[in-house]
Amino acid sequence: MTVFGATGITAKYGQVTVLDQVDLPILNDNEVLGLLGPNASGKSTLMRCLSGEKSTTGHITIDGRTRADMGHDGWHHRLASMPQSPPNPSALLPTELMWSTARALDLDVSDRELADQIEGIFARLGLSEFALSPLHTLSGGKRQLVGLALALMRDPDVLLLDEPTSALDLHWRMVVLDLVRERLSDRGGVVVAALHDLDLAARYCDQIVLLHGGKIIASGGPQHVLTPANLARVYRVETRVTLDCDGRPLVQVIRPLRDGEAA
């Protein structure tokens, strides 16, 4: 069982406040939280605050314990994040990157188990045939999948994904998010995923937080958050929202709104 909490998250770059008292809903085991918002709204900064990479005045807990309570190693034993930028297009092979990362993290598994784990993750993400291809020869989407493989290898209870599907085609977007959900039902844990695709968010997230200018504009179930009024306010677009047969919102974007124009 994992319970993840984050309240009062405020973050600055220099003197500029980019997150202002952000309170996320409590995430209980098996829940996926979608973090939505336009460019520069603060999603990646929030992800870095949640992981501990960026300092914040907020209170972030896993099962009621903070990073200070658990210590750096204890925290990162339970939490892993996939950054927005994929691994650099270097001459390194995906397999080498996985092994060197595992060595650096001192993961508590035998070489045999690790080899099986890497093989399984690569197979699931369609990377087996690219395992020995230098990263600079892979497409952007395949490199993004290697970035996801690195986070999954750590088998965390709290998985933070910053735009995990932004470079992926329609097939792989769904494979990735199916895998994320399947993993939660198999082993428990929680996921926070920053996403730009509203339909994927509606389909895969239990709760959605809509950020704008470093503040939360709406928070709750997809049907509650993905409304034409919220989307007009935050994304400056006119939309039509209908419900599919499972009651999930389907967002049709009609046009961008002009400056000063109401939806």
Ligand X SMILES: Nc1ncnc2c1ncn2[C@@H]1O[C@H](COP(=O)(O)OP(=O)(O)OP(=O)(O)O)[C@@H](O)[C@H]1O
Residues within the interface to ligand X (CB under 6 A): 13, 18, 37, 39-45, 84
Asked if residue 163 lies in contact with residue 194, where contact means CB atoms within 8 angstroms, the answer is yes
Q: Is 165 in the site for Mg ion (CB under 5 A)?
A: no
Q: Work out how close the CB of 194 gets to Mg ion at its nearest, in angstroms, rounded to a whole number.
A: 6
Site track 57-86 with Mg ion (rule: CB under 5 A), x = hit: ---------------------------x--
Q: Work out how close the CB of 83 gets to Mg ion at its nearest, in angstroms, rounded to a whole number.
A: 9
C-beta closer to Mg ion: residue 50 or 70? 50
Nearest Cα neighbor of 5 from 48, 82, 58, 44 is 58
DSSP helix/strand/coil, 212: strand
C-beta closer to ligand X: residue 25 or 37? 37
What distance in Å separates the CA atoms of residue 191 and residue 158, rounded to the nearest whole number?
Answer: 6
Q: Is 51 in the site for Mg ion (CB under 5 A)?
A: no
What distance in Å separates the CA atoms of residue 39 and residue 211, rounded to the nearest whole number?
Answer: 10
Side-chain-side CA neighbours of residue 234 (13 Å) = 26
Distances (CA, A) of 119 to 157, 174, 220, 226: 21, 20, 37, 38
C-beta closer to Mg ion: residue 43 or 54? 43
Cβ neighbour number for residue 33 with a 10 Å cutoff: 23
Contact region with Mg ion (CB under 5 A), list: 20-28, 38-46, 91-99, 125-133: 38-46
Q: Work out how close the CB of 84 gets to Mg ion at its nearest, in angstroms, rounded to a whole number.
A: 5
C-beta closer to ligand X: residue 93 or 167? 167
Q: Is 166 in the site for Mg ion (CB under 5 A)?
A: no
C-beta closer to ligand X: residue 43 or 248? 43
Q: Work out how close the CB of 163 gets to ligand X at its nearest, in angstroms, rounded to a whole number.
A: 7
Asked if residue 2 lies in contact with residue 158, where contact means CB atoms within 8 angstroms, the answer is yes
Asked if residue 153 lies in contact with residue 101, where contact means CB atoms within 8 angstroms, the answer is yes
From the list 22, 41, 42, 44, which residue makes contact with Mg ion (rule: CB under 5 A)?
44
Q: List contacts with Mg ion (CB under 5 A).
A: 43-44, 84
